[in-house]
Amino acid sequence: MTADVVAEWQDRIRAAAAARTPLAIVGGGTKAFYGNPTAGELLDTRACAGIVDYEPTELVLVARAGTPLAEIEQRLADAGQMLAFEPPHFGPGATLGGVVAAGLSGPRRPWGGAVRDLVLGLSVVDGHGTLLRFGGRVMKNVAGFDATRLMVGALGTLGVITEVALKCLPVPRCDATRAFECGADAAIQMTNDWSARGLPLSATCYWRGTLAVRLSGAEPAVVQAMRTLGGTSVDNATSFWASVREQTHDFFADGARTGDALWRLSVGATSPHAGLGGEQLIEWGGALRWLWQPSSIDAATVRQRAAQAHGHATLFRGSDAVRVAHGTFAPLPAPLHAIHERLKATFDPARILNRDRLYAGL
Amino acid sequence: MLDAALASRLSAVLPPAAFLDAPEATRPYECDGLTLFRERPGAVLLPQTEAQVVAILKICHEARVPVVPRGAGTGLSGGALPHADGVVLSLARFNRILSIDPLARTAVVQPGVRNLAISEAAAAYGLYYAPDPSSQIACSIGGNVAENSGGVHCLKYGLTVHNVRRVRGVLVTGDIVEFGNDALDAPGYDLLALVHGSEGLLAVITEITVKLCPKPPLAQCVLAAFDDVEKAGAAVAAIIGAGIVPAGLEMMDQRATRAVEDFVHAGYPLAAAAVLLVESDGTPEEVAHEIAEVSRVLTSAGATEIRISKDERQRLLFWSGRKAAFPAVGRISPDYYCIDGTIPRAALPLVLRKIEAWSAEYGLACANVFHAGDGNLHPLILFDANRAGEAERTIAFGDRILALCIEVGGTITGEHGVGVEKLTSMCAQFGQDELACFLAIKSAFDPSGLLNPGKAVPTLARCAEIGGMHVHHGALPHADLPRF
Ligand SMILES: Cc1cc2nc3c(=O)[nH]c(=O)nc-3n(C[C@H](O)[C@H](O)[C@H](O)COP(=O)(O)OP(=O)(O)OC[C@H]3O[C@@H](n4cnc5c(N)ncnc54)[C@H](O)[C@@H]3O)c2cc1C
């Protein structure tokens, strides 16, 4: 049945390529806000769903792209495992394909790895309608270029993902969240210092004078770290971290009401708070800064500040008009952009797959 | 040799004694760690600055001369094998650690820096660079990126690709590019991942920012003996299945322990059919907890003996044999051939059993030393190249193992790369469409095809010729490989 679905997509993509009809690839539609606006006939990936294989002792799960993320997480939880990159859902109905194509990781990312770090292999139908299989189900594989990771975060612009093999990890035996009252720069300094000392951090969030830190690991390690760090306990820690991951936390909810644009600044972890353009919610031990800015702000300025902090700025949430005007993602230096164009020309020469969503012209 | 005009243009952009073309000077560069393949390069270039690399590439690009990047030359698949009509571009003189940021836990290093030198320099801050190939005293970090190398600690800490933030390099046109940055992600396609394991085909790497990890306060190692190789294989799966991800999980079979024991005198249990080494690291409490769990799993998996390292000296002693396995095997056999397939862990018992049976069939001894936790096998086939037919039988045996790896859902190379060695096996692992993609990725970076041509990805013509497209059920054609 699924083979039929994939064959159907192949036919459809071949026809679309011949007719130069753009296709918009959609799973649960939960991340439609992310990336540049794209237009096209809908290609719904949810017809290709289901967990194909899951062997806990192998730490590997293989599932079709349209499989609901919630289903995968439940299946893993039942076996005491998890997706270590803690992906945001951003709404009910998020699918695995969307998670991989968007390449977004949650609070655990600096310690547990990113989506790209835990994807072992995938199948994809490219813009020629060809079904390609890259990587595999094993932990180590250096045969051929790493086209698997190339698809992670490509936002569907190189192909429609049909199936993914993921590395899973055991859920830490113990979790604890502690809170500290401090300034932003103290929070940045402390979290980096704790990481450098090998304390078992698994998430951090600083906002308006409060730093929350999650510790995860074997019980003795967590207990000892709590003793070392001090701080106060946090109620409903699980829902707190979910609110950070899903952006339902007050910082996000309040900002959304103003009509401002949400910027995601991915920067060097020790970059100071000042100089990035205002109040931030700080995650990832300092490496991720969320910032609301008026839609009228000069995007180049925000991007320049992020570049000075050795990173880059993404226009994460904003109106279609704002994202079209500034581009969602930081522009690339010319030689890198040229490589992007050639890769797009290889996988999707008719530019039918999620046209412009990553960069205008791709 | 290169033509005189080109030679003088190249030497003009290099410091004195950095342009070698006399046969006695280029001889050490004729091969890498896979000595079965040798080629005389037109010249060997030893630049010291990125500007010199840019100048060299511009000249070679214009003159259409192939360029083979080279690190320390420890590669095991012929990736740095010279091109007869080209130059070898050695990064050996890019040997400085440029900076270490202890708070951000990163180091900026030049590509010729030895893997171990990074950890040595970072030790002052209580940090280290996690991926630790057995060749770490010699191999370069640039080579590690180009091969996406692994090591004993990669089970818990990841491969090179998981531990590198930024790679700066020069395209064949002379354009300088940066993949990644100091942040945890970068905009656009993940070219940083693509350059890992690219075997020098996409860009010449000139600078790398690596991630450093805090050195765990304690590491302890469990040595477990088994009277049966398959039981040891099953114990590996049982440890992972129990929710434990040890810092290292390695296996040696009896032939390997006997070979290394003569070499390192570590006191390995020589009567055991297989030995597992399981490392735990962390705080003393964590380690004690994990070691107890590991011991319990090992016991119920049928271990006949369990030893726990009492101190750092003993831990290193346990590891000494594993680390010295290659040279030790080199002492008991005139030649050996290292296979590098990866398989799903569940297939370990089956694959080990077949290797044993084939060893008898081919009349070639085989020692197994490998990264069991990752399912990355390193069967070492012992042979004597001077004995008629042995080399050919060795190749046939090796090919059969790789075909089996593909058949059970694994891969032909876990960490040593394709180079020139596994070009034929690539035709078995991938279909024509995937191979065409790899070739297109190569030309997206290097349309002229001058960077390390003929490596890593076979031409479609080659695969068509051997008829080896996507072979299933282990029916890999034993086509004559060019190396013999
Ligand atoms: C005894 C022994 C044990 C080993 N153990 C392991 C192990 O445990 N794990 C493992 O993964 N490997 C192992 N290896 C293989 C080898 O050490 C690794 O592949 C290593 O990363 C190669 O590094 P190198 O500097 O020697 O690279 P080289 O052999 O010089 O080159 C390897 C490849 O990288 C390219 N390259 C090198 N430098 C650059 C650069 N600056 N820019 C672009 N391309 C470049 C070359 O063109 C070539 O294709 C072992 C080898 C030996 C001899």
The pLDDT tens digits for A117-128 are 999 999 999 999
Please report which helix (H) or strand (E) contains residue A334, including its range.
helix A334-347
Q: Which of B156, B312, B360 is nearest to B249 (CA)?
A: B156
With CB atoms and an 8 Å threshold, state whether B177 touches A189. Answer: no
| Among candidates A117, A221, A342 on the partner chain, residue whose Cβ is nearest the Cβ of B158 | A117
| Among candidates A136, A198, A268 on the partner chain, residue whose Cβ is nearest the Cβ of B411 | A136
Residues of B in contact with A198 (CB under 8 A): 213-217, 282
Please report which helix (H) or strand (E) contains residue A82, including its range.
strand A81-82
Q: Closest chain B residue to A172 measured between Cα atoms?
A: B243
pLDDT (0 to 100) of residue B346: 85
Share of chain A above pLDDT 70, in %: 100
The pLDDT tens digits for B346-394 are 888 899 999 999 999 999 999 999 899 999 999 999 999 899 999 899 9
For tokens 């765990």, the residue is: B216
Q: Look at residue B478 and tell me whether its pLDDT is greater than 70.
A: no
DSSP code at position B214: E
With CB atoms and an 8 Å threshold, state whether B214 touches A198. Answer: yes
Q: Closest chain A residue to B436 measured between Cα atoms?
A: A346
Class of domain B218-328: alpha beta
Q: Is the ipTM above a cut-off of 0.90?
A: yes
Other C-beta atoms closer than 10 Å to the C-beta of B215 total 17
Q: Closest chain A residue to B165 measured between Cα atoms?
A: A268
| CA of residue A99 to ligand 1 center, whole Å | 34
User: Rounded CA gap, B17 and A44, in Å?
Assistant: 62
When the candidates are 1.10.600.10, 3.40.50.2300, 3.30.420.40, 3.30.70.2740, the CATH number that belongs to B333-466 is 3.30.70.2740
Q: Where are the domains of chain B?
A: 4-90, 97-214, 218-328, 333-466
Ligand 1 residue neighbourhood (C-beta within 6 Å)? B 32-33, 68-76, 79-80, 91, 111, 133-135, 139-140, 142-144, 146-147, 149-151, 199-200, 204-205, 326, 415-416, 452
| CA of residue B91 to ligand 1 center, whole Å | 12
Bigger pLDDT: B402 vs A57:
B402
Q: Look at residue A87 and tell me whether its pLDDT is greater than 60.
A: yes
The pLDDT tens digits for A248-259 are 999 999 999 998
User: Rounded CA gap, B192 and B179, in Å?
Assistant: 5
Q: Look at residue B468 and tell me whether its pLDDT is greater than 90.
A: no
Same fold? B4-90, B97-214? no
Mean pLDDT of chain B: 93
Mean pLDDT of chain A: 96
pLDDT (0 to 100) of residue B474: 33
pLDDT (0 to 100) of residue B330: 84
Q: Relative to the CA of B94, which ligand 1 atom is closest?
A: 41
> What's this model's pTM, rounded to 2 decimal places?
0.96
Q: What is the CATH number of domain B97-214?
A: 3.30.465.10
Q: Closest chain B residue to A359 measured between Cα atoms?
A: B188
User: Rounded CA gap, A94 and A70, in Å?
Assistant: 7
Q: Look at residue B172 and tell me whether its pLDDT is greater than 90.
A: yes
**B476 burial level (CB within 10 Å; 0-12, 13-18, 19+):** buried
The pLDDT tens digits for B83-95 are 999 999 999 999 9
When the candidates are 3.40.50.720, 3.30.310.160, 3.90.470.10, 3.30.43.10, the CATH number that belongs to B4-90 is 3.30.43.10
Gyration radius from chain A CA atoms = 21
The pLDDT tens digits for A227-248 are 999 999 999 999 999 999 999 9
Q: What is the DSSP string of B226-295?
A: ESSHHHHHHHHHHHHHTT---SEEEEEEHHHHHHHHHHH-----TT-SEEEEEEEEESHHHHHHHHHHHH
CA of B362 vs chain A CAs: smallest distance (Å): 27
With CB atoms and an 8 Å threshold, state whether B162 touches A117. Answer: yes
The pLDDT tens digits for A301-321 are 999 999 999 999 999 999 999
For tokens 């790789």, the residue is: B402
pLDDT (0 to 100) of residue B467: 62
Q: Look at residue B140 and tell me whether its pLDDT is greater than 70.
A: yes
Share of chain B above pLDDT 70, in %: 96
CB B48, CB B37: distance < 8 Å: no
Ligand 1 binding pocket mutation candidate from B76, B195, B340 (most atoms within 8 A of CB)? B76
Six token digits for residue B118: 């990074």
pLDDT (0 to 100) of residue B184: 98
Evaluate the CA torsion angle A59, A64, A69, A71 in order and state its sign: negative
User: Rounded CA gap, B184 and A286, in Å?
Assistant: 10
